[in-house]
Chain A
Amino acid sequence: MSSPVQDLSVLHQRREQRLMLALAMPALLVILLLVVLPVGWLAWQSVYHNGFTLENYRRIWSEDIYWRSFALTFEISLLVTLLALLLGYPIAYAASVAPKRWGIIILALVVLPFWTSVLVRAYAWLALLQRTGVINQLLRQLGVIDEPLALVHNSFGTIVATLHILLPFMVLPLYATMQQIPRDLMQAGASLGAGPMLTFWRIFLPLSLPGVLAGSTLVFVLALGFYITPELLGGGRTIMISMLVSRNVELYDQWGAASAVGVVLLVAVGLIFFAVSRFIPLDRVLGQK
């Protein structure tokens, strides 16, 4: 038997829960109606067309263009992730060991491009890299080249611009992790006779690995779904997964095929997040965004 006081507190708790649910409900409804329902519809459409069918998936499996596009997307995403790590690690390292003022300046410069529209940056890279662009003009004036280099409308242009957009997503988690590495650990290593290189390799680098994993995951997953940069800078030759989706919708009216490609991409992203979440908490990966 529960006492009347307990009943009251249970009643109060229920009312509290109902209130909180009501407060969260409008936002939740927006997400359910504009993310969950559309993505669910997409998944349904990929297997249902006048009856249940796996035709769309069979096509992805058997047709060459799909394979090539998936392979290319994974290749480019992997390359961008490695390059981002290569360029981002020294930046994050410098920001974490530099005097505080310099650290803030470095981070500000990293975050600055964040707040420029992706479209604007694609435009800037076109202006820089095209045949009559700034870089080709400069190289010709310097006499380095006679014929303009093909820097854009190919994979190279796509990679340069994609890396530019995703680099901050690598630097920020790296920096957050490096900040938390206690400095006295390195001093302890040094006092025990280890040189700067050895303390870096044996102490700093291993401790920064969670940041490496978080940043790499974020960059890789975002690169997989990239659309604007490959569309504008790839010159129609670099067909990434997202372009396959949009072309199937816009040019060929193949909604089922587009949906199936979308579902495969979504499953890939989901699996990557799931695998990574076994090593580091997911909000640590997403918190940087």
Chain B
Amino acid sequence: MTMSRPFRIALVVTCALVLLYLILPILIIAPMSFSAARFLTFPPPALSLRWYEEYVGNPAWMQATRVTLTVAVLTVVIATPLGVAAAYAISQSKWRIMRLIHMTLLLPLVVPIIITAVGIFFVFAKVGLAATMTGLVLANVMLGLPYVVISVAAGLQSFDATQEMVARSLGMNRLRSFFVVTLPQIKPSVIAGGIFAFISAMDETIVALFISGGQYQPLTKRMFTALRDEIDPTIAAISTLMTAVSFMLVLVATSRSKKDA
């Protein structure tokens, strides 16, 4: 499409500024975390690992890290098979009820999270799941499920279901044909879904604010509380680590799905 020169320049400048706005906060955290200064100055006066040492040396942060990692891993382990089974059923069945089930499974994305959080808090308080590991994992499985379902359903859409039929007509039973024929072909979307569930569990804050407590508080809840009081550069160190983990996982997820295509 032809564009006049001034228009093109205006477009490029606008885009550059907006993109700068988008990535600036991400670019600033890592240098701050390596600063030797107590107060946030930019650029940092001297480099040091002081805030990383503070993080690693603090038992409360370490306990919170263990909780976060345990919750995230358990979430993936539970949400992935549940999500794959549901996505498979949804894509195989033309039954009307399945469409309704599909919509229901995406509810966690539609209902404002603050409402879900308060509702879960009420229920957990009644059944004694508040401030427990089980409760935290259950809530994160719920929040992670839509990502697995969306990712795997998309993967199954480009998979030719007749291949599984062929395997079955050659004498494999249904379960075996799924694991031998179907699963290897949708593997990238299963991995991507699992990774998104992991990141979702690692970053989840709002539900944890309401339902977690005692020794089972994840990193995000402690970070939130710390941020409300004062700005501690230790949080810059933790943020840098969390962002690094997220980016690496996303890189794995996207490179896998590209190989698939």
Q: 5 A-B Cβ contacts within 8 A? A: A17-B95, A113-B25, A122-B227, A224-B112, A225-B114
Interface 1/0 per residue, B107-134 and A, CB below 8 Å: 1111111111011111100000000000
Considering the complex, give the chain A residue whose CB is closest to the CB of B29: A124
With CB as the reference atom, state the residue of chain B lying closest to A29: B82
Pick out which of these stretches binds chain A: B45-53, B160-168, B243-251.
Answer: B243-251
| Most B Cβ at <10 Å: residue of A116, A122, A126, A273 | A116
Residues in B neighbouring A167, C-beta threshold 8 A: 18, 22
Please state if A28 and B142 are interface contacts (CB–CB under 8 Å).
Answer: no
Interface SS, A side: helix
B183 at the interface (CB under 8 A from A): no
The 7 closest A-B pairs by CB, nearest first: A38-B119, A225-B112, A124-B25, A27-B86, A34-B142, A23-B89, A117-B203
**Does B28 sit at the interface, judged by CB under 8 A?**
yes
User: Which residues from A are CB-within-8-Å of B180?
Assistant: none
Q: A residues within 8 Å of B by Cβ?
A: 16-17, 19-21, 23-24, 26-28, 30-32, 34-42, 45, 87-88, 90-91, 93-94, 97, 106, 109-110, 112-113, 115-128, 130, 132-134, 137, 164, 167-168, 183, 186-187, 190, 196, 199, 221, 224-225, 227-228, 231-232, 242, 245-246, 249, 255, 258-259, 262, 265-266, 269, 273, 286, 289
Chain B CB count within 10 A is highest, among A27, A123, A134, A199, for: A27
Beyond A27-B145, A113-B26, 5 additional pairs, beta carbon < 8 A: A121-B25, A123-B236, A228-B205, A249-B121, A262-B115
B32 neighbours in A (Cβ, 8 Å): 127
Q: State the majority secondary structure of interface residues on B.
A: helix
Q: List residues 162-214 of chain B with CB under 8 A from any CB of chain A.
A: 174, 199, 202-203, 205-206, 209-210
Chain A residue at smallest Cβ distance from B28? A124
Q: Show the binding face of B for A, using Cβ within 8 Å.
A: 1-4, 7, 11-12, 14-15, 18-19, 21-26, 28-29, 32, 39-42, 82-83, 85-86, 88-90, 92-93, 95, 97-98, 101, 104-116, 118-123, 138-139, 141-142, 145, 149, 174, 199, 202-203, 205-206, 209-210, 220, 223-224, 227-228, 231, 235-236, 239, 242-243, 246-247, 250
What residues on B are CB-neighbors of A125 within 8 Å? 25
List of A residues within 8 angstroms of B239 by Cβ: 117, 119-120, 123-124
Do B206 and A227 touch (CB < 8 A)?
A: yes
- Complex formed: what's the CA distance from A202 to B235 in Å? 50
In the complex, chain B residues whose CB is within 8 Å of the CB of A245:
114-115, 118
Q: Which of B85, B123, B220 contacts A37 (CB 8 A)?
A: B123
Alpha-carbon distance A84/B7, docked complex (angstroms)? 21
CA distance A110 to B220 in the complex (A): 24
B145→A249 contact, CB < 8 A:
no
Indicate if the CB atoms of B246 and A28 lie closer than 8 Å.
Answer: no
| Contact among A23, A45, A137, A232 with B41 in the assembled complex (CB-CB below 8 Å) | A137
Candidate in A90, A115, A128 with the most chain B CB atoms within 10 angstroms: A115
**Chain B neighbourhood of A42, CB < 8 A:** 115, 118-119, 122
Whether the Cβ atoms of A110 and B115 lie closer than 8 Å is no
